[in-house]
Amino acid sequence: MGKMSWAAYALGVVIVVVLVVMSPEAGPLFKSIVVATTLFVGAIIAALNEIARAIAGRHTHHPSATHTASSVAEVEAPASRA
């Protein structure tokens, strides 16, 4: 996700949590559950994001991924020496 979508997601989460915590109808147990669940889901999303970033980084920075067919051919058959 881009930075803008993370900001929108975080703003939505903050609004929901603030509304629930400030609600007079919600009991203390429910408020605690909402806050704990929000933190837990946020941690899981952050972990999945790091895993996805590591996998993407591994695929783009792999040494063999930078070789083109022509560079491999040059290594296998060097130019004739004069």
Environment class of 4 (CB within 10 Å of its CB; exposed 0-12, middle 13-18, buried 19+): exposed
Question: Is the model's pTM score more than 0.95?
Answer: no
pLDDT digits (tens, 9 = 90+) for 19-40: 888 888 989 899 889 888 888 8
pLDDT confidence bin for 42, thresholds 50/70/90: confident
Q: Residue 63 has what pLDDT?
A: 57
pLDDT confidence bin for 70, thresholds 50/70/90: low
Residues 38, 41: Cα–Cα separation, whole Å:
5
